[in-house]
Amino acid sequence: MSKRKHSVGWFSSYDRGLDVLLSDAVWPKIVEAVPDVTLDVAYGWNTFDSFHKDNPERMKWKWNLIRKFNQYDVVEHGRLSHTELAELMKEIEVLAYCTSFPEIDCITVKKALAAGIDVVSSGFAALQESIWCKEEEDIEDIHDNPEKLDEFANRVIDALLNPISDEKRKEIAEETIKRYDWALIA
């Protein structure tokens, strides 16, 4: 299960914390520690635009985030099919999901684990239940807390510089697929 070295992914709606990942407190620190780090994002703006196209404040937020994409050479894949997303996820080492969105069942995390991605999250809400293979401390109020942002950046850096083995990735992927097999759920 070979991955693209030092690759980070984001595969949820961008307004669930991608701005936090790309904030001055997080992404520059990651880049400084891992200069060849890459960030691939996939989700697109379709849903965001449909809800916020008439909201100047939210559209300004969008354009500020797009500026960050350009500043940090983020590869934006837009909206992908399930198959295309699965192919992209096969390449990625780390999912960096610093959200304060109250997830109740994070499908993105489950897909990432099924692809053998090491998930680093804020552990907020039900994320700890979805990330079954390791303990994730709940980083509350990550958006407004410099110490918590620093802690999250350090966890991403550690995951990139000390990647889990291909054998462990395969083990996590296989177990995740077993856990969420439709025959067991239905």
DSSP per position, 3-31: --TTEEEE-S-GGGTHHHHTSTTTHHHHH
Residue 158 pLDDT level (bands cut at 50, 70, 90): very high
Tokens of 181: 């097999």
Residue 162 DSSP label: S
pTM: 0.91
CATH of region 7-185, choose from 3.40.50.2000, 3.40.190.10, 3.40.50.300, 3.40.630.10: 3.40.50.2000
Looking at the predicted structure, is the pLDDT value of residue 138 above 90?
Answer: no
Pick the range with the lowest mean pLDDT from 82-86, 102-106, 112-116, 175-179.
102-106
Looking at the predicted structure, is the pLDDT value of residue 164 above 70?
Answer: yes
Total residues found in the chain within this entry:
186
Quick one: 35 exposed, middle or buried, by C-beta within 10 A (0-12, 13-18, 19+)? exposed
What's residue 117's pLDDT? 97
- Rounded to whole angstroms, how far apart are CA atoms 139 and 147? 10
Which residues lie below 8 Å from residue 70, measured CB to CB, with a gap of 6+? Answer: none
* H helix or E strand, kind and range, residue 96: strand 94-97
CB under 8 A, 24+ apart: contacts of 26-35: 26/98, 26/149, 26/152, 26/153, 26/156, 27/68, 27/72, 27/153, 29/150, 29/153, 29/157, 30/153, 30/156, 30/157, 30/160, 31/72, 33/157, 33/160, 33/161, 34/6, 34/157, 34/160, 34/161
